[in-house]
A = this chain, B = another copy of it.
Amino acid sequence: MFKPLIKEIVEFRDKRDWKQFHNPKDLAISLSLEASELLENFQWKTSEAAIDDNIDNIIDELADVVIYALLMSNELEINLEQAIKRKIRKNSQKYPVDKSFGSSKKYTDLQD
């Protein structure tokens, strides 16, 4: 399902001959940097104020995060859709409904 978007992003990259820079370690760094730029929109603010002030930039930075995620999945030949479905199943086991209902605790802190 992500293939058409990945194709567009790879075309953008290849026109600029940027594949040479896109090793997985630097892609992971870049993904983290873009996530921080997204978060910066919420610095010193409530969610509501951040959205009022910065929604356009929030949309752009969220897009950048996913663009780098798609580039990394492409570089590592990860089927992202399968990976997400598998992770939801794993999270379902880490966070059983009866123990985690209405709780924000980390799975390591869930009590028996």
Q: How many residues of A contact B (CB 8 A)?
A: 72
Which B residue sits closest to A91, measured CB to CB? B12
Interface string of A1-40 (1 = CB under 8 A from B): 1101100110010011110110111101111111111111
Taken together, the copies of this chain in the complex come to 4
* B16 lies within 8 A of A44 (CB): no
Cα-based distance from A59 to B73 in the complex (angstroms): 8
Cα-based distance from A83 to B60 in the complex (angstroms): 7
* B47 lies within 8 A of A39 (CB): no
Are A67 and B87 also in contact (CB < 8 A) when A24-B42, A102-B16 are?
yes
Known contacts A26-B47, A66-B69; 4 further A-B pairs (Cβ under 8 A): A25-B42, A28-B38, A31-B38, A31-B39
